Amino acid sequence: FEPEKRATWPRGAYVPFGMGPRVCIGKRFGYSEVHAIAAALLRRFSFELPINHEVVIQQAPTLSPEGGLPVKLHPR
């Protein structure tokens, strides 16, 4: 996590659930699902990125790593 990189994003670049009075009704459920899945994965695996792999963020239509994100999972 490098907060200084986020400072270069255009304003409003990452709004996955919309905002204001038309915010997505499933926003809280979506966050709960992500937390549950992340916790299960972190409990069962350790993660490894390739050495010297630079992650470049692209916006299309939401933020994602350009070219994917190669990750190795190792059972705990």
Model confidence over 10-49: pLDDT tens digits? 776 777 788 888 889 999 999 999 999 999 999 999 999 8
pLDDT, residue 1, reads 60
Number of domains in the chain: 1
Q: Whole-angstrom Cα distance, residue 28 to residue 24?
A: 9
pLDDT, residue 25, reads 92
Range of the domain at 56: 3-75
Nearest Cα to 17, choosing from 34, 4, 38? 34
pTM value surpassing 0.85: no
pLDDT at 67 > cutoff 70 = yes
Structure tokens at 55: 């992650």
